Amino acid sequence: MKKTLITAAFLGLPLVTNAALPDTPVPFKSGAGVIADGVIYIGLGTAGQNWYSLDTKAENPTWNEIQAFPGQPRDQAQAVVLDNKIYVFGGMGKKDASASVISVRNEVYCYDIANNSWEQVMTRSPLGLGGHAAVTIDGQNAIFVGSVNKAIFDGFFEDTEACKNDKQALAAINAAYVGKKTQDYFFMADILAYNAKANAWSNLGRSPNKGTAGSALAVNDDGTATVIGGEIKPGLRTAKTLQFNVDKYGVISFTQTPDMVAPHNESVQEGVAGAFAGSIDNVVVVAGGANFPGSTQAYAQGKNFAHEGKTKTWRDEIYTYANGEWNEVGSLPLPLGYGVTIDNGDELLLIGGETTNGVATSKIYSIKLQDGKVAVSQ
């Protein structure tokens, strides 16, 4: 691993450089996005069924609307480039236009970049994929980490819809949903893989950590994947991190890595869900996300409804992991999470997301490592 010294010279005060890319066409959060041959593609989430492209190599990059997504709108789908096509997996949305509630989706869609056309792939993920993270290491296989449990998640929304006019029943349903222990949500701990050429799924192994939803996932140049944080039950995050490698035979090996460090002005790292993450020069960079301060202590004290009375807090901290250490190295210009991270050579592009109170943004931020310091630009 290349050793890069990261200092905290900009802790709480990001270095801002010149603007480069235009705002997204609509305020954009909870969507999916990728980069292929220097062109960024984003869609779903608050963009609905719309998808847009932007050529970063153009003299004056502009967003263009491309063919619309053929399935139902959805949040938290994940997109991966395989065999020069864009594959979109899962998400949370309605089964069809007539459905009254959302559910965890397991469909796969493919966008042919050359022909500007979509098709639904004749497959389904073996487990529902909602709140999952996805990457590719080799351009042939998509790898998935984390997800809520489809049966429990779908059942909750079906039950609340059925009892929507009965306040007493609704209160009981909600209390049962938030009052479980972490292990009773059955979040996905299996690491799944999908091979585009074979149109086949496989199970690469089971994480030694608890199943999560909303984890961040980054891949170094050597193929090492790092899993950061995520939810371990509604309202409760984890500070745990983990690395894994997959060999050519599909065998996975895990390495337990240190917990994220606490923010400089706080005594506890609550963990984050919905954070941005990627790798620059084999340094893992994690930014933003959201958590409920105080929920970790409450759960440790035996309160299963750990985030009761706690305030959801969007974060602005930037962390790096290199040489076996986590460090807080700076901050974003505003609290931000649940956007799309694009690995673009020597920078990470943070596209859209939501800030305090869930307000969607159209901004694009760039994170670079310059002279051992973190640099953030818009």
Would you list the DSSP string of 84-109? TEEEEE--EE-SSTT-SS-EE--EEE
Q: Is 186 helix (H, G, I), strand (E, B) or coil?
A: coil
> What are 196's two structure tokens?
């585009």
Distance CA 108, CA 131 (A): 15
> What are 15's two structure tokens?
């270095």
Query: What's the farthest any 2 CA atoms get from each other in the chain?
Result: 60
Identify the sign of the CA torsion 264, 265, 271, 276.
negative
> Contact, 272 vs 229, CB < 8 A?
yes
Distance CA 65, CA 329 (A): 36
- Which of 65, 119, 158, 231 is labelled catalytic? 231
User: Quick count: other Cβ atoms within 10 Å of Cβ 58?
Assistant: 10
270 carries an active-site annotation: no
> Contact, 29 vs 353, CB < 8 A?
yes
| Chain CA centroid to CA 327, Å | 21
Distances, alpha carbon 321 to alpha carbons 143, 227, 264, 376, in Å: 21, 11, 16, 17
Helix residue ranges, H only, 202-287: none
Question: How would you classify the pairing of strands 78-82 and 85-89?
Answer: antiparallel
> Contact, 367 vs 284, CB < 8 A?
no
Q: Just list the catalytic residues.
A: 231
